[in-house]
Amino acid sequence: MKKGILVVPFMTGYGGTETVIGNLFKARKSRHQDFKLKVYSIGGSFDYGWAKNVDLDIKWINKKRKVRDLYAMTIMPFNLFNYIKRERPAFIISTNPVIWYLAKECLRLLHRNTPVIAWYHYSIYQKPIKKLFLNAADYYLAISSGIKRQLISRGIPANRIFLVLNPITTDGHLIKRPGGIHFVYMGRIMLDGQKNLRELINALALLKGQWTLDLYGNEAQAADVKAYVNAKGIAKNIVWHGFVNNPWKKLDQATAILLTSKYEGLPMVLCEAVSHGVYCVSANTSTGPEDIINSQNGSLYSLGDEKKLAEILQAIVNGKRLPAQHNIQETATKFLPVEYLKRFNEAITTILRRGMEK
């Protein structure tokens, strides 16, 4: 059976990429596979909860970032070369541009025609990739339609890009709709920057009627947000929950979940929300929300259009009839691990078949 290697850099163990990798291997474990896959972690993690079902090799370096950066610039290329030489993979995947570039260079020195697959988990416009690194990969796994368009705009042929999206883990229980209006936000509490809560607060301040916003997220940067909420006169409408581990188990009611991010790769909070039958209202950023939200499960508005956002939310406060929760749940099917695995396996199988046809 052919074997592939997923090479990743240091990861804290708490991020979205780790979750996706963990979900992928969990889905693989319960089904017959046509190829083997293992992870080579250069740098390790602080927490390995994500690796419970993962076939994992670890090259631990150091807790200090400066030491890890020095290693990457000096020893890592030789370490990667020796690992590839020993493992002889049929394909290599990496989430990191520098690593997939180095992997391609190692294969060139080894005179091997092994495909290198880029699996980038960020918007290319928000976190750009140097052209030298971007073009080094042979194929690309895109986690959203927007990222696929970005790759094409950077000169990558469409037939070398596979749209795989991301998998979620959910128990699928319905989160009931309350009698009143309970909006929900889950994510980092940031007034500006990526999460852009200023836009949400400005829109909420325009609303007339009774409503509540439940905020779930790390409050390390919340001081400015709380001050702004007070300045806009809506402090009485806000409930601060702080960081909650697995908030979907704690949340017992929700009218709609709100997202005003300036950018996302694929906002998993929206995928998880629809799996629980929760209506979504989101900024239509360049990558992500369009793959999740449609007329059956939510509303999109143009980023920066606070009046439109307020209009959508006001309609909900006024009693707009929302889609049935079981219909919302059905839109989450494509994000379930079994469906994700089909797309992932089809992409790898196609890539390996093309290599055999050369």
Write down the pLDDT at residue 67. Answer: 84
Q: Look up residue 280 and give its two tokens.
A: 């979504």
CA distance 348 to 139: 10
Write down the pLDDT at residue 64. Answer: 85
Looking at domain 182-335, does it have CATH number 3.40.710.10? no
CA dihedral 152, 333, 173, 288 (to 10 degrees): 10
Write down the pLDDT at residue 70. Answer: 86
**pTM score of the predicted model:** 0.89
In 3D, which of 104, 103, 94, 51 has the Cα closest to residue 76?
103
Which helix (H) or strand (E) segment is 182 a member of? strand 182-186
The CATH architecture to which 2-167+336-357 belongs is 3-Layer(aba) Sandwich (3.40)
Rounded to whole angstroms, what are the CA distances from 147 to 24, 102, 125?
A: 20, 23, 9
The answer to whether 198 and 234 have CB atoms below 8 angstroms apart is no
Write down the pLDDT at residue 358. Answer: 58
Write down the pLDDT at residue 68. Answer: 87
Write down the pLDDT at residue 357. Answer: 64
pLDDT, block means (10 residues), the chain with 358 residues:
94 86 88 89 90 89 84 88 96 97 96 96 91 97 95 97 93 93 95 94 97 92 94 96 90 96 90 96 91 96 97 97 96 93 96 78
Write down the pLDDT at residue 245. Answer: 83
The CATH 3.40.50.2000 portion of the chain extends over: 2-167+336-357, 182-335
**Alpha-helical segments (H) within 186-251:** 197-204, 223-231, 247-250
